[in-house]
Structure 1
Amino acid sequence: MDFFKIYQDLFQYMKQGPLNRWLDNLIPQLEQRLLENPHGDLGRWQAALNRLPDIQADNITLTTSAITANKAEALSEAELVQLTSGLMALSPWRKGPFQLFDTYINTEWHSDWKWDRVVPHISSLKNRVVLDVGCGSGYHCWRMLGEGADRVIGIDPNYLFLTQFEAIKKYCGPKSPIHLLPVKMEEVPSNLEAFDTTFSMGVLYHRRSPIDHLLELKSTLRKGGELVLETLVIEGDNEQCLMPEDRYAMMRNVWFIPSCDTLALWLKRAGFKDIKLVDLNRTTTEEQRATEWMTYQSLNSFLDPEDPAKTIEGYPAPLRATFVATK
């Protein structure tokens, strides 16, 4: 993957402001990730990306449930087969949905449902510089751009997500000010103070040290910047926090699931203010499910078949909260 080509615009942008301090570390990180020590399947995914047909969209929509690229004329049968087979080779698709011409990518998650719950409660993203931590294939990044963000940077170390993102960007705006960097949160320089809004959605419970994650998120924000935090929670007071003995909903890397009161206290201790719980939602098997684009087990397999209010391990079923807070 020619990262000097796909990130050229971002590198130029970063030279001109507070993100310049990140650039010194970022270029060697990308060289190491994408050139010196790439993932074993990256070549296969990149080959699928390269096989996608060159089709120019006449209309791009970033404000509806599916990120959409349309063309006035119908695709030829050969183009449609080439497009669908290339995108299918990048399965599993987890976050979406996307509509690329006549091909609808019906992802595991209805990520649009989460976005619809979150967006009414956050500050306007118009003209803001936005960071999306753990962005997956970038669905929410596109929605952020659709809300008028000046620049959106997503970070996620997963190489498949990067390739999926580049496939979407090929059709939905190769020159758009939106980028996915295959780096980890802890590799972002501390005290960067460069972003107006930072999102962390579905990340906190994967962190061994959740307070450190909150401090890392705070350090990305300028003074007065806004954090949007979405994570698993449990019911209870400010003394309640679940640490699974092993797996939670068959996920190995789940460490701490706090109550809402506990999480609010964590945010306060991390130095945030104006802390608000803006949404509390039980995840359903309609929102997260297996599809032809993600054929592995999904939420239905992770719940107790006798009692869907519990995970298969006996813990409370997934309950998700969204908090908004200010630096």
Structure 2
Amino acid sequence: MIDYTPLLDTLKSTPLASWHTTLAEGLQARLAELQHGDLERWQQSLRNLPPLDGVQHDFSRGVKLTGAAALPEATRQQLYDALQGLHPWRKGPFDLFGVHIDTEWRSDWKWERVAPHVDLRGRRVLDIGCGNGYYMWRMWHAGAAMVVGVDPNLLFLNQFEAVKHYLPTAPVWQLPFTLEELPEPTSAFDTVFSMGVFYHRRSPIDHLLQLKACLRPGGELVLETLVVEGDENHCLLPEDRYAQMRNVWFLPSVPMLERMLRRAGFRNVRCVDLNQTSMEEQRSTEWMRFNSLPSFLDPNDSSKTIEGYPAPLRATLIAERPA
């Protein structure tokens, strides 16, 4: 399905060399068991992507690919149909040869809030819960030497492969694992991102310890998650759903999250961004036609979710693994 040989070969010349064998064995087992009722349809969409020459990329303000010339209408329609075959698109937007994928999330807004606070030049980066890889392309443009993403969702993997199809030599790869399934990467990544994952974890401290284990000594964690207002003793544990999501377990206050990071052994912990999610940042579009944030908020009070909890507030924290 996917040839990971270039990634495995790259690892041999990095501090991740000892990861080579365990990752190769893990990938072989994982790829052999990949199953989903729509997998063949998604892979057919990838096969339907038209071959294009002179591909160039511009990731300075988003994820944009251009070709040597404007696409003929028939080719553009073929590309549009293939990409629509991978609906729904959550993270983005993308501009692929003039086809604008207006995704559910304006992930470019989040990246603009995060990017000023990280220096990725020459770094080996791990993106946990990377979705369709939107942020990974931005990380590469920000100077990362290598970007590895982890996400078990096979639709997201195929969306990533749709872009990778046109940039086959880019040092950006996506692995179909959860963090818990990922073979131990032996503490060798310079920067680890966990954005939009923490609140889905039943055991938040264990998640922080797993993230720390992926970092080299002195490496940096970028953690973005849902939070609530309050002091260091305050958190929200939803009774059932939160904003219609069943798998939301733990929303701490920023001071509590900072304390948790310190208890997990991180240092230099600081919150660099706090942002209320707006209905302009997360909404339904032609490329994600299901319900989105406007349907998840109280119709009479947008400061609350439909369940009566505080509306989504997201924080980005940065912390370091001690050297």
| TM-score grouping bracket, smaller chain normalisation | over 0.9
Matched, 1:239 2:236: no
Contact 1:57–1:69 (8 Å) recurs in 2: no
Alignment partner of 1:310: what SS? strand
- Opposite residue 259 of structure 1, the aligned amino acid is S
1:166 maps to what in 2?
A: 161
2:290 maps to what in 1?
A: 296
Gaps of 5+ in 1: none
1:149 maps to what in 2?
A: 144
How far 1:72 sits from its partner (Å)? 3.7
Alignment partner of 1:186: what SS? coil
Contact 2:53–2:68 (8 Å) recurs in 1: no
Alignment partner of 2:180: what SS? helix
* Structure 2 counterparts to residues 107-186 of structure 1, below 5 A: 107-122=103-118, 124-171=119-166, 173-186=167-180
How far 1:192 sits from its partner (Å)? 1.6
Q: CA RMSD in A?
A: 1.2
Contact 1:289–1:300 (8 Å) recurs in 2: yes
Contact 1:247–1:254 (8 Å) recurs in 2: yes
Q: 276, 279, 282: which is aligned to 1:282?
A: 276
**1:27–1:189 CA distance, 2 compared to 1 (3 A):** closer
Q: Spell out structure 1 runs of 4+ moving beyond 4 A.
A: none
Alignment partner of 2:50: what SS? coil
How far 1:186 sits from its partner (Å)? 1.0
- Opposite residue 67 of structure 2, the aligned amino acid is K
**1:26–1:166 CA distance, 2 compared to 1 (3 A):** same
CA distance in 1, matches of 2:183, 2:88: 31
CA distance in 1, matches of 2:33, 2:140: 32
- Opposite residue 85 of structure 2, the aligned amino acid is A
Contact 1:97–1:111 (8 Å) recurs in 2: yes
CA distance in 2, matches of 1:10, 1:188: 15
1:318 maps to what in 2?
A: 312
CA distance in 1, matches of 2:270, 2:157: 32
Contact 2:26–2:183 (8 Å) recurs in 1: no
Contact 2:23–2:183 (8 Å) recurs in 1: no
CA distance in 2, matches of 1:137, 1:91: 12
Gaps of 5+ in 2: none
TM norm structure 2: 0.96
CA distance in 2, matches of 1:26, 1:40: 26
- Opposite residue 164 of structure 2, the aligned amino acid is K
- Opposite residue 326 of structure 1, the aligned amino acid is E
How far 1:102 sits from its partner (Å)? 1.6
- Opposite residue 104 of structure 1, the aligned amino acid is H
2:210 maps to what in 1?
A: 216
How far 1:91 sits from its partner (Å)? 0.5
Contact 1:22–1:188 (8 Å) recurs in 2: no
**1:278–1:309 CA distance, 2 compared to 1 (3 A):** same
How far 1:218 sits from its partner (Å)? 0.5
Contact 2:243–2:296 (8 Å) recurs in 1: yes
1:273 maps to what in 2?
A: 267
2:29 maps to what in 1?
A: 32
Which segment drifts farther, 18-27 or 180-189? 18-27
Alignment partner of 1:187: what SS? coil
CA distance in 2, matches of 1:22, 1:88: 36
Alignment partner of 1:280: what SS? strand
Alignment partner of 1:104: what SS? strand
**1:207–1:219 CA distance, 2 compared to 1 (3 A):** same
Alignment partner of 1:95: what SS? coil
CA distance in 1, matches of 2:241, 2:197: 16
Q: 195, 200, 209: which is aligned to 1:206?
A: 200
How far 1:191 sits from its partner (Å)? 6.7
* Structure 2 counterparts to residues 12-51 of structure 1, below 5 A: 12-51=9-48
Give CA deviations for 1:22-51 in whole Å, capped at 9, x if unaligned. 333333333333333422221111111011
Give CA deviations for 1:2-24 in whole Å, capped at 9, x if unaligned. x2x2x111010123333233333
2:302 maps to what in 1?
A: 308
Contact 1:282–1:319 (8 Å) recurs in 2: yes
Q: 73, 78, 82: which is aligned to 1:86?
A: 82
How far 1:190 sits from its partner (Å)? 4.3
CA distance in 2, matches of 1:125, 1:205: 25
Fraction of identical pairs, as percent: 57
2:92 maps to what in 1?
A: 96
Alignment partner of 1:109: what SS? coil
Aligned length: 321
CA distance in 2, matches of 1:36, 1:304: 41
Contact 2:223–2:316 (8 Å) recurs in 1: yes
